[in-house]
Amino acid sequence: MAKQGDYINYLVLNASRGHRNAFLELVGFVHKEIFQIAYLLLADKQKALETTIEIFTFTYKNLSALPDEMTYQEWIKSLVIVNSFNKIKLGKGEKDNNGESNLKAKFKEEELDKFSSLEKSFPQIDDISRIVLILYLKLNYEIESIANLMPKKSIEDIRFLICDTLNQLYNLSNPDHVFQYERDKIYEYLFSNKDISVKEQDPDMGEQQVFFKMIADIKNLYTNVDVSSEIIKGVTEFLMQAIDPKPAEKVKRKAQTDKLIKSTDVSKVLGNTFKNLEEKEKTKTDKIQLLLSILKFSSVLLLLAVIVVYFLFFHTPSVSWDVKTNFGAYTINSEQGIREISQDDVFHTKRFSSVVIGIPGIAEIAVDEETEFVLLDDSKVTPKINLKSGSLRYESKTKPNTKLDPEYNLTIITEFGNIIAEHGSAFNINISEKAVEGISGVATIELSNDVRIFIGSGYKFIYTSLYDLPMRDDLTEELKSLVKNSQTFKANADFIIPNLRENDIFTLLSAFVYLDQEQKRTALNKIKEFVPFIDNNIENKILQNDKAAYEFLVESVKALSDSFMIE
């Protein structure tokens, strides 16, 4: 254990220096226990998963806040406990107790098949009972400590609450064998300072052994729920966004971490949570009576409210479009649903001089009440208007000529709006002609997180990380030849260099010799963000076209290439 603790401290140190692989390995050590705690407290897989990922992404950016007196495991455990309690306090983890029907809504069918009867029953007990049980049996809180958090309950009240909850949980998980174990015997069993593991082996327990074994099993609930890949994926996506986040992603991520409670004062938050839940329990009966009164004396108002809600939120009014075609003009109404026109027609709108001429594949374009469509007969695509969802869909009838890996999706972002190419679609990028015909102004085509293509009126440039993207070799060579086009790169270096990401550094190095002195200086400053040990002496030699210094720079980047990738 000491060696593992030292290694975790080593990973924390490296992660605090920005090494993302070290942080992912750190996540791998502790994520199962952290998720289990969140799952037990919230009794909801999705909320537990979200909470776990939120906590890990917060600690990555705030490793410097790790208290000196705590280990990383203790710190992250306290954070997940605090924030799970806070979600329960705010009502985000609240559960209702309506039996099996609600369980099917909370869990996927394949998950329920793998759950034990105890795991299926656990979410049905109320929040206060569930939390007290987990605090005592899983998190090893003393009864006195729990009582201090619930000033309205004595130590004996807490003990009896635990005994009664265990009886309830046993009957829920064993519906065919109703059994009411004597509270005094449960009390003696739990609070007589005897080791549970010893009592489990007691041959005199008889059929009660099943009951007492259930108590020990509570500590291991949901350990068979495998969310490792989902947690690693969520943390990895966060780390990838951290490389070159869009403004919207920065705001979104900041909003997520702002919601987290940074304090590790579990007692304070837990006390507030219990207070909130006790107040809910106190007023629960009054609320039910009030609701029954409203239903009894205000049935007409309730019916009117249902009608209003239906028209506000669920009823979709009929919308019409006037469509002009070379065959004549006619009106399409939204009540008609999806309307297929003609195999040889293509749509144009007022917002685009041409929608996607020359790009086989699939694209979707948002429409509104004022969109005008003109049908032409010069394209080999089948357009469909999904009038109810408000989108225009193109499906290619020709076999696409693609050199891009089919696992990636393309998004064309233009000054006019977005065009999304779905999974399995393909784009022909003609290097000698316009890359995307009919789209003027600067556009960005994003291929997953690894390639970006800048297109503008008068120039075009494609850059990518050439050593890891799964493309065919011939396209890779085309990309390399583009990078070596000195006029293209040099003319647009001021625009391209500030947008480079870590995976683009090799591409920048391959075009380095074509830049002027000022552009080289800008490029070196960008490279130094990822290769910080380049000193002024090496930088000056590179600017003086010293071949040895340049080769040293290239080898240094290659040596650090592992730190650029998240495996």
Among the listed ranges 55-59, 109-113, 363-367, which one has the minimum average pLDDT value? 363-367
The torsion of the CA quartet 122, 123, 128, 129, rounded to 10 degrees, works out to -20
Name the burial class of residue 383, with classes exposed (0-12), middle (13-18) and buried (19+) by CB atoms within 10 angstroms of its CB.
buried
Q: Distances in Å between the alpha carbon of 465 and those of 234, 483, 504, 527?
A: 23, 11, 5, 14
pLDDT of residue 331: 47
- With a CB cutoff of 8 Å and minimum separation 6, the contacts of 297 are none
Beta bridge partners of 418: 413
| 231 HSE (CA, 13 A, CB side) | 29
Q: Which residue has the tokens 């090893």?
A: 140
Residues 107-154: tens digit of each pLDDT? 566 566 667 788 788 888 888 888 888 888 888 888 888 888 776 778
Q: Which residues pair with 93 in a beta bridge?
A: none
Q: Which residue has the higher pLDDT, 473 or 292?
A: 292
Identify the sign of the CA torsion 166, 167, 171, 172. negative
DSSP secondary-structure letter at 422? P
Q: Is the pLDDT of residue 513 over 70?
A: no
Give the domain ranges of the chain. 1-94+227-264, 98-224, 274-314, 316-457, 485-567
What the block records as the tokens of 178 is 């109703």
3-class DSSP state of 362: coil
Residues 448-500 pLDDT 10s: 333 333 333 322 333 322 222 233 333 345 445 555 554 556 666 666 676 66
Q: Token pair for residue 182?
A: 């004597």
- Residue 381 has what DSSP assignment? E
Q: How confident is the model at residue 300, as a pLDDT?
A: 58
Q: How confident is the model at residue 528 (pLDDT cuts 50, 70, 90)?
A: confident
Cβ proximity of 372 and 350 under 8 Å: yes
- Say what the pLDDT of residue 460 is: 31
Quick one: tokens of 193? 């300072």
Residue 241 pLDDT > 60, yes or no?
yes
Q: Which of 2-6, 310-314, 477-481 has the lowest mean pLDDT?
A: 477-481
**Phi, psi angles (nearest 5°) of residue 268:** -65, -50
Report pTM.
0.45
How far, in Å, CA of 533 to CA of 552, rounded?
12
Mean of pLDDT over the chain: 61
pLDDT at 34 (0 to 100): 86
Angstrom distance (rounded) from CA 380 to CA 197: 73
Kindly list the distances between the CA atom of residue 177 and the CA atoms of 170, 172, 419, 439, 445, in Å, as whole numbers in the listed order.
9, 10, 60, 71, 63
> How does DSSP classify residue 345?
-
Per-residue pLDDT at 360 exceeds 80 = no
Q: What is the largest CA-CA distance in the chain?
A: 91
Query: Which one of 301-310, 453-462, 488-497, 528-537 scores highest in mean pLDDT?
Result: 528-537
Q: Which of 106-115, 525-534, 537-546 has the largest mean confidence?
A: 537-546
**Residue-wise pLDDT tens digits, 366-405:** 444 334 343 333 333 334 444 333 333 333 333 333 333 3
pLDDT of residue 545: 80
Residue 534, helix vs strand vs coil: coil
Nearest to 326 by CA among 342, 302, 305, 306: 342
Indicate the pairing of strand 443-447 with strand 417-421.
unpaired
* Packing angle of the helix pair 45-61, 72-89 (nearest 10 deg): 130
Q: Is the pLDDT of residue 409 over 70?
A: no
CA distance 454 to 461: 6
